[in-house]
Chain A
Amino acid sequence: MTERIGVYVCHCGTNIAGVVNVAEVSEWAGNELARDGVVISRDYKFMCSSLGQELIQKDIQELGLTRVVVAACSPHLHEATFRTACKNANLNPYLCELVSIREQDSWVHTDKDAATQKAKAIISGGVARVAHHESLEPLRVPIHPATMVVGGGIAGIQAALEIADAGFHVYLVEREPSIGGHMAQFDKTFPTLDCSACILTPKMVQVGSHPNITLLTWSEVTKVDGYVGSFSVTVNKKARFVDTDTCTGCGICWEKCPKKVVDDVYEAGMNNRKAVYTPFPQAVPKYPVIDAPNCTFFIKGTCKACEKFCPTGAINFEQKDEEVTLQVGNIILATGYDLFDTRRMPQYGYGRLQNVYTSLEFERLSNAAGPTGGNIVLRDGKTVPQAVAIVHCVGSRDQNYNPYCSSICCMQSLKFAHLVHERTGAEVYNCYIDIRTPGKGYEEFYNRLLEEGTNFIRGKVAEISNVPRVPEEEGKLIVQVEDTLIAKQRRIPVDMVILSAGLEARHDARDVAKMFGISCSIDDWYIERHPKLDPVATMTDGIYIAGCAQGPKDIPASVAQGAAAAARVLGKIQQKEISLEPVRATVNQEQCSGCRICNDLCPFNAILFHEETMVSEVNHALCQGCGTCVAGCPAGAISGTGFSNDQILSQINGLLLLRITENEYA
């Protein structure tokens, strides 16, 4: 039975009609394509308008159309519009095909005759194709109401709280013994100079005591299976060697522990902790962990001081890592950032010259709970600096290291300058290329620093030296920089240098992304679905990203992204079930030879292989309909719904028919 096809040619105002003779095309289609099933052909000013859509709907009902071809703009814009119109007229939406005679014709050609002929060819192709379309139903997948948030920094905490407060369960997985992330290391936050811990810890406590949040700290995700709505995530809960049911967090164990270890995570190497420890006093959860590689008992079999002194007998050296598999519907990745390693720039002397600090080291130095009780002193622990230089853009905006701007270092450098002024009265020099203060209250903060008498030197520091050339430089660190605003090279003697090091993606970001099935950019930040319009979603349904893991940003932006990701997840959970586009690939099991070439080709890991029957199968929920496997299968055993061989080949035939006989349709 031949189909009954309706063709609708849009003028799009003058966008199409100005170049293509739409009336001629419409008439041509009605006459010449009648033998292919076209029973009606119309042209109209704006097909996407309600009136345009009604035209289609009326014809479907009155003329019993079985297929619809709309020749207008790109499907990107209105495919959904016309499909919905058909659906509302009880025609399966996938029996409607939109061909572009705007982006692919009128907008790219100036020769009107040629453009008109091309429009006819395009429509002819569309008509030939649509005859092979099948009714399809969108896939419906159920959404498990639980969510996993990976990363317990401020972004992850915000996301977890929003979802938990809305009444749904959250698993918050954090690799360190406590949540809090980098924000827990800071002393003050810009521009308000709020105490970081004071604004963070209430949220941490909320997370720790929330009935809807299961906190898995000292844990890492090891495997992710499944797809949106039904992920199966395996988490390795590392052994704390502390029984959390009996531990009260009293702290006697770490007090008595004789083994000191340099804390290069929380304290940025500025202080020691013990082998059994919580990273900081306000840790959530309060239970300590034993750092086995550094614990005397695990190394030599002796000591056990913690066990001896623990009043509740909570130490358990026999504890093993525990693997759990959790079912969740959506996952939010908020894994944060690592700091640029300033040793990669030996000219700045970090590691070689004592009193050169990284930004995180200085945060600890200035923190009241830090190694010096918040006193800003040199490495000797007592000398108060009289001059401090703060170097902007270390490892950022630099083709030799990271080409991007790390977003927060200017504000952070201003904050440091303020703290130094406040606590030491030292002369402060901020050496910068540009001052980037775009956020709310940021420029005003810069003004404040100007008022405080900060010396701003516009110039990227070339090198830091301790070799004096004149007597004033003896015993000092010399910052050599061109003061570009006066075009002079200056050597500034200071006592302390703070390097505002750039932000980098976590060093295992690529591996983590692979595990979750998302991609990283060239700088290893997780890639968002759209850089402008969709910053928290990824190309993988059900996986969201938030915070610095997506790119350097300040705390307000991280919080906003955490909340945004949570909102997206809640939207999915509310629906209980979501639809997925049915454009998917299917393996014809009879033709499949079991070569498995498609398995590795799939960028979404959507193809499974059945060992027992030796055939591959496409998981339609993970499949994005990209077509790679269809092209790759040597047996031609895979075809894509919506892009079957028949459909494509007939569309090509339709396109070419016109050329064979030079303007005459044969």
Chain B
Amino acid sequence: MAVEYSFSKEIGDMMYASHKNPITECLQCGTCSGTCPAIEFMDHSPRKIIGMIKANLKEEVLSSNTYWSCASCYHCTVRCPAGIDITEMMYALKRYSMWKGQFKPGLIGPDFSESFVKMIVNSGRSYEPILAATYLPKYSASAIIQEAITASGLVLGGKMSLFPKKIKRIKNLQNAVRRILPLGDVS
């Protein structure tokens, strides 16, 4: 008799630091949503997302912007009476959605994270202008201009260099990463 691998279990299994499946412990009290500072910008409250996961509404969950709007402030995690690490669950949803390539269109988060990792594998240090390519296309013209103004202010103020920096042992870093993830044709 095959055991059904529920969405809840799938996500629970992607949370390294949690034992068993913490999502099952949720009593839907709403403390997380009452606490979340970003909730006004989420399709569904964190509590509702957990409820939807438990109800196996995979498509609806993955296509919401909730988990991509999580700022990882961990306030829900420290207050949750059921001891669920909700922030880590949001990360697990992000990973799941990136893995399946399934997420709400128009979101900046997926592109941003992917570009960020690629940038690090390339140079070992973060360099903002590269990342701009991930989100500027989604901005309005006035927003792009605003960003340009801010950016030039940063460069002029000596707070942003014009050129990306590389760490010395970048090749070794890449080889180290290869032992974790397949890198494809990153040079």
Contacts and interface: CB of A to CB of B under 8 A. Distances in A.
A482 B30 contact: yes
Contact of B30 (A347, A397, A400, A459): A459
A347 B48 CA distance: 23
A181 to B, nearest CB: 29
Q: Chain B, interface size: which category?
A: 20 to 34
A433 interface: yes
A462 B44 CA distance: 17
A397 B80 CA distance: 10
B152 to A, nearest CB: 33
Contacts of A399: 80-83
Interface stretch (B35-43, B126-134, B173-181): B35-43
Contacts of B28: 433, 484
Contact of B45 (A393, A460, A489): A489
Interface string A393-424: 10001111000000000000000000000000
A460 B80 CA distance: 10
B87 to A, nearest CB: 15
Contact of B83 (A400, A461, A463): A400
B167 interface: no
B47 interface: yes
Nearest to A459: B30
A141 to B, nearest CB: 48
Contact of B35 (A393, A462, A483): A462
Interface string A372-406: 00000000000000000000010001111000000
Contacts of B81: 393, 397-400, 460
Nearest to B31: A460
A459 B29 contact: yes
**Residue among B33, B39, B78 with the most chain A CB within 10 A?**
B33
A364 interface: no
Interface in A479-499: 480-484, 487-489
B35 A397 contact: no
Contact of A462 (B27, B79, B82, B83): B79
Nearest to B35: A462
B31 to A, nearest CB: 5
B33 A489 contact: yes
Interface string B79-108: 111110000000000000000000000000
Nearest to B40: A489
A453 to B, nearest CB: 23
A487 B48 contact: yes
26 contacts: A347-B79, A393-B29, A399-B80, A399-B81, A400-B81, A433-B29, A459-B33, A459-B34, A460-B30, A460-B34, A461-B31, A461-B34, A462-B31, A462-B33, A463-B34, A463-B35, A481-B34, A482-B31, A482-B32, A483-B30, A484-B30, A484-B33, A484-B47, A487-B33, A487-B44, A489-B40
Q: Shortest 4 CB-CB distances between A and B: which pairs?
A: A462-B34, A482-B33, A482-B30, A398-B81
Interface of A: 347, 393, 397-400, 433, 458-463, 480-484, 487-489
